[in-house]
Amino acid sequence: MRLLKLVTLAFVLIVVFAIECTKSAKILAVFPFSGPSQYICVQAYLKTLAARGHEVTTVSMFPQKTPLKSFRDIVLRKEEDEHEDMIIEAIDVEKSKLNELRFLGDYVTLGALAAFQNEEFHQLLHSNEHFDLIIIEALFLESLYALGDHFKAPMIGVCTFGSNAVIDQYVDNISPTAYVPAPNGKHLDRMNFWQRLDNLYINTIELLYNHLILIPEQQRLYEKYFPNATADLSEVRRDFSLLLLNQHYSFNYARPLVPNAIEVAGMHIDHKPKKLPADMEAFINASAHGAIYFSLGSNVKSAYLPKRKLDEILNAFAKLPVNVLWKFEKDDLPGKPRNVYISKWFPQPDILAHPNVKLFITHGGMHSLLEVVHHGKPIVGMPVFYDQHLNVARAVAKGFGVSLNFRDFTSDELRNDILEVLNNPKYAAKAKEISASFHDRPMKPLDTAIYWTEYVLRHKGAIPSKVTSQIPQ
């Protein structure tokens, strides 16, 4: 045990020394999607890079409210109406796998166009400005991956949804369909023959759609906005030095990863919860049997739910013996029971950290699931689309939650599921067990992300395939 502690200390000291030896760099970070949770995933990471002396230029729809030293924002315009229409359609209609991919394709194209059609970003592309590193969302944005070649800088991809068969191709990772679930499927890593066959089908559909529909669309954008580029798009999309994956095997599953695909799930979560507003704190503490937090995330808004669903939720909450905090995006909610507190925004990690919050009712987005695992709280999952079904299924399989059919549920079903998780201690116990495993790492996830980012800077990319290709034959 003493030897293990000495080895761990030596490793930490080496990491600290390596980080401190990294020179200041100019970094361009591009996260063009309109989902706030995706930017929240990288915000602490980018701020930490700036705090370490690097000059960070970010391209996103979420500028800093207070200017930061060494941190410049290029603010993209958010097509609010178009984005909201897409989300409302996703809420109302259960999509086939093909329709889910069409939805994702439209979402990706909107993000790429938001960047390319921004005047300040356009000027940056045609300037003589130099960057030492490009950090970018790794989610089918092939046209924007040309930024690495354009600025002659190594590129790091941040996969805010975790990885899949398409993203694995960026760094030549493998995704054995026998035990690596497709994120937009519903099967876990231990599948029978028919589930494996279905997993193969889902992966095949996604790969075909990507290569036949998404990449040709990105090729058109690439040719339009990088007319002087000489590299083929097939080379551009595999020009990553590193992928930072928003996943961890303690919650996800064990799977093969190449050395430059690094798991950093939880890097966005502050390890020191902040104090809650006084009225919120009082409402939580007033619930003698614990309080519940309910949120459908930053994209799916409760205010857009059909009246029938809202009525079922309100009826269920009214019959509960506990207080409920509900992320609701309007100032008024007709028929709101006295035990319900609504707000357009909650400091979610700080809410989940509160000892009197006993349960999280969630849509099952990856960020929400990682936050609930971090804080060791059980869930009632109501998945809506894409990876949310698998995320919730994983929580159920690991024993710290139950799942409810979002498309068709009654107030009694919702109430019964809530009371099952609240009153049965096995769910809370399992949540704490998974959380302990999630935290048991040699380095904190943010420190890991910073170390490998500065590793890429120190070695100017250090892509094994490119290094070996230079060895004389």
Q: What is the mean pLDDT of residues 336-361?
A: 91
Q: Which of 67-81, 124-138, 434-448 has the lowest mean pLDDT?
A: 67-81
Who contacts 43 (Cβ-Cβ below 8 Å, separation ≥6)? 62, 268
Q: Residue 471's pLDDT band (boundaries 50, 70, 90)?
A: very low
DSSP 420-457: HHHH-HHHHHHHHHHHHHHH--SS-HHHHHHHHHHHHH
As a whole number, mean pLDDT of residues 42-61 equals 94
Lowest-confidence region among 237-241, 294-298, 346-350, 356-360: 294-298
Q: What is the mean pLDDT of residues 8-13?
A: 55
Q: Could you give the domains of the chain? A: 19-266+444-467 (3.40.50.2000), 278-439 (3.40.50.2000)
379-381 sheet: strands from edge to edge: 340-343, 323-327, 291-295, 357-362, 379-381, 401-403
The predicted structure's pLDDT at residue 306 = 83
Q: What share of the chain is helix, strand, coil (3-state, %, to 5)?
A: 45, 15, 40
Which amino acid makes up residue 246? N
pTM score, whole prediction? 0.86
Task: Over range 157-166, report the average pLDDT.
Answer: 87
Tell me how far the alpha carbon of residue 336 is from its chain's centroid: 31
